[in-house]
Amino acid sequence: MAELPLPDLDPTSDRAVFRQIADHIRDAIEQGVLAEGEKVPSEARLMQHYGVARMTIRNALQVLQGEGLTVAEHGRGVFVRSHPPVRRLASDRFARRHREQGKAAFIAETEGAGGKPTVDSIKITEEVPSASVAELLGLTAADSVIRRSRRYLINGQPVETAVSYIPAEIARGTRIAEPDSGPGGIYARLEELGHRLDHFVEEIRSRMPLRDEMRALKLAPGVPVFHLVRTAYTTAGRAVEVCDTVMSSDAYVLSYELPAR
């Protein structure tokens, strides 16, 4: 590794030393002096360069990690985070013409982009929905739902977890309540059952992942998630599915078209 030219500390500045150091390294990353995947000087080297204690260096590195700029690997070093190729989700991704090709949206898209899609951890239960799901589906406290949860992976890398809720009255006993929901996915099944889909509403939040989500999606520290809740409505105006998904934010770009009229 060539010598990384880091500036010296400014003793007259009232900015904390560890912040100054974080600034130096951040600048190096943003200006490409430290490229993606490249190794940041070790804690020991930085201590020597700046003449400060190890904790000061670690504080600085922690700042960068919190910003999602670096990842520390135990025993190897600290590296500039490399961003994986992103999936771009277009607003027509659930259009019927795609569904009629016989593949679920995720599989079709991923293969189209040259990736190897996998779905695992499929679990199906019947239960009483939470208050928010019940409200979205227009159900009362007495109704129950079929809950389909699963995890999506691209080339073995988890990118998204999803949980669908369908009124049990609709889905019970159908293929929707089985692990393999068949060609075209559950939206195709819903239409076969006479629920002609009209539109979806998606609500998007962004936040830091919970502990379980961090594990399920193998997220690096400092990577937020999209939390997306999609509700499917039929032409009759009835909500027939709610899908609650959590997506790694650095695997996705969401794209929507809005009317101006």
Q: Which stretch binds DNA (CB under 7 A): 36-44, 104-112, 121-129, 189-197?
A: 36-44
Q: Which stretch binds its own copies (CB under 8 A): 63-71, 72-80, 133-141, 164-172?
A: 63-71
- Binding residues for its own copies restricted to 187-216, rule: CB under 8 A: 187, 197-211
- Binding residues for DNA restricted to 47-86, rule: CB under 7 A: 51-56, 58-59, 72-78
H or E element in which residue 135 lies? helix 131-137
Q: What is the dihedral of CA 46, 50, 54, 56, to 10 degrees?
A: -110
Q: Can you name the residues that pair with 31 across neighbouring β-strands?
A: none
Out of its own copies, DNA, none, what residue 74 binds, judged by CB under 5 to 8 A for its kind, is: DNA
- Binding residues for its own copies restricted to 79-118, rule: CB under 8 A: 88, 91-96
Buried b (16+ CB within 10 A) or exposed e, 227-258: bbbbbbbbeeeebbbbbbbbbbbbbbeeeeee
Out of DNA, its own copies, none, what residue 4 binds, judged by CB under 5 to 8 A for its kind, is: none
Q: What does the DSSP 8-state code read for residue 176?
A: G
Q: What is the spatial distance between Cα 105 and Cα 15, in angstroms, rounded to a whole number?
A: 50
Out of its own copies, DNA, none, what residue 43 binds, judged by CB under 5 to 8 A for its kind, is: DNA
161 by Cβ neighbours in 10 Å (0-12 / 13-18 / 19+) ranks as buried
**Four-residue CA torsion sign, 57, 63, 68, 69:** negative
Out of its own copies, DNA, none, what residue 232 binds, judged by CB under 5 to 8 A for its kind, is: its own copies
- Binding residues for its own copies restricted to 29-48, rule: CB under 8 A: none
Q: What is the spatial distance between Cα 80 and Cα 122, in angstroms, rounded to a whole number?
A: 34
**Minimum CB distance to its own copies, residue 2 (Å):** 26
Per rule CB under 7 A, count of chain residues that contact DNA:
24
Q: Which residues form the interface with DNA (CB under 7 A)?
A: 16-19, 40, 42-45, 51-56, 58-59, 72-78
Q: Which residues form the interface with its own copies (CB under 8 A)?
A: 23, 26, 55, 62, 66-68, 88, 91-96, 187, 197-211, 221-226, 232, 249-250, 252-261
